[in-house]
Amino acid sequence: MRLFREVGLCESQQDFAKTIGFAMRTIGNAERGTHPPSLAVRRALDQVLENATDAQRDRFLAAVTATQSTNPVITGATPAAFPALNYDDVRHLAVAMTDAGRYLDGEAVLHLQRQLTSCMAADGTEGPQRTLPVVLGVVAVIEKQARQVKPDVRRDLLVVGARSAEFAGWLYRDAGRADLASHWRDRAVEWAQEAGDWSMQGYLLLKKSQAAWDERDGLRMLTLAQAAQTGPWTLPARVRAEVAQQEARGLAMIGEARLHVEHKLDQAWTLIDTSTAEADSLGDHYDKKLLTIQTAICYCAAGQPGRAVELYEESLSLDSFSRRDRGYFLSLMAGALARAGEPDAACEAGQEATIIAMEMNSQRTIRELGGVLDTLGEWRARPTVRALTEAVQWANQPARILMPGYPGRD
């Protein structure tokens, strides 16, 4: 019932109790989970919703979609962070959750897939804080209702579930929650295996390899990328290009000869040059501009930061990435500039990355900026480095909100 207040259906617990005609103790017990709401209370709640505006019902049903699961990993979503959703879309999901045996069919599975696709398209501009609640709502439907549907629907549902769980893992990774990211990647593996989605299993090995980059675990990155190439599946060409790049990066990080790194990068470029876009493919997001950025990462890992900077500057000057991705790549360019002995240029890139990271709540970017500051240690007395240090410290505060007075803001 807390959701009724959060979406504007009442101003306070006392106001809500008066509206539905029940004691505040009854409302408080229901909100705390001490006693579930009685049938009479639920009918009163229904009446409140019937009298609500369409906008209020939109917000309420969106919040319900995110909180229907008892899984503690799901209940951390913040309903107030929901973007505006189409009322019919949210109602479709809400009904599916309450009566899956009658309602959840192939059409509903397609609806869930469309909702997931929409979230993926908005990810780079919305960030995890706004996108994650919707994705967790989709996962909640799947997790709850996969136990009740027919076998053929269950398999189709788990295919969407595996992709949704992998995407939730990515969003948690961007939000700086490695533990929850790992949880959802493992859930995605389980669902992909049960659904017989072989290519998704290989793709998840790639995602695990990418997560190892956050810990700078080059050996784990390498072996996971190699495993993604050798399993009993056929990956789309663009995914194989990214896997080859990931193997190149792992080789660079463990100190393999530059010739071996270049050989793997050449494989990646050959695959991307000869690939074509595939509808609903796992690799449809991967293109030459991303491979260029990742090539820069490889060069920096191989001890060639100057060469990396050239590629970063070339790619980021085009302004062809999403806001969130641009911020992250700027933090990587800042690291390359620092390693190349250009502290002032590194701080300039780092300041822009910090602003974007705060706007998008990208803790992954903020963490990278912490590494940049470590590299800039020998220049810590420079004004530009001191300013960047203050900005990153500000970004690490619990309330990561861009506001007047933010260090480094004009």
Tell me the C-alpha distance between 91 and 164, whole Å.
Answer: 19
- Total structural domains in the chain? 1
Tell me the C-alpha distance between 280 and 160, whole Å.
Answer: 12
Tell me the C-alpha distance between 93 and 90, whole Å.
Answer: 5
Return the residue matching tokens 């890992």.
301
Flag whether 343 is in a domain: no
Angle among Cα 175, 177, 178 to the nearest 5 degrees reads 125
Q: What is the chain's pLDDT, residue by residue, as a tens digit (410 residues)?
A: 455 665 566 666 677 677 767 677 776 666 555 555 565 666 676 667 667 665 665 555 555 544 443 333 333 333 333 333 344 444 444 544 444 444 556 677 888 888 888 888 888 888 887 788 888 888 888 887 788 788 888 999 999 999 999 999 999 999 889 999 999 999 999 999 999 999 999 999 999 999 999 999 999 999 999 999 998 999 999 999 999 999 999 999 999 999 999 999 999 999 999 988 665 578 888 999 999 999 999 999 999 999 999 999 999 987 889 999 999 999 999 999 999 999 999 999 999 999 999 998 899 999 999 999 999 999 999 999 999 999 999 988 754 433 334 444 33
Structure tokens at 270: 């050959």
pLDDT at residue 63 in the model: 53
Flag whether 368 is in a domain: no
pLDDT at residue 61 in the model: 54
Flag whether 110 is in a domain: yes
pLDDT at residue 108 in the model: 77
Structure tokens at 324: 């969130």
pLDDT at residue 39 in the model: 57
3-class SS letters over the chain: CHHHHHCCCCCCHHHHHHHHCCCHHHHHHHHHCCCCCCHHHHHHHHHHHHCCCHHHHHHHHHHHHHHCCCCCCCCCCCHHHCCCCCHHHHHHHHHHHHCHHHHCCHHHHHHHHHHHHHHHHHHHHHCHHHHHHHHHHHHHHHHHHCCCCCHHHHHHHHHHHHHHHHHHHHHHHHCCCHHHHHHHHHHHHHHHHHHCCHHHHHHHHHHHHHHHHHCCCHHHHHHHHHHHHHCCCCCCHHHHHHHHHHHHHHHHHCCCCHHHHHHHHHHHHHHHHHCCCCCCCCCCCCCHHHHHHHHHHHHHHCCCHHHHHHHHHHHHCCCCCCHHHHHHHHHHHHHHHHHCCCHHHHHHHHHHHHHHHHHHCCHHHHHHHHHHHHHCHHHCCCHHHHHHHHHHHHHCCCCCCCCCCCCCCC
Q: Residue 86 sits in which domain range?
A: 81-196
pLDDT at residue 55 in the model: 61
pLDDT at residue 101 in the model: 46
pLDDT at residue 405 in the model: 41
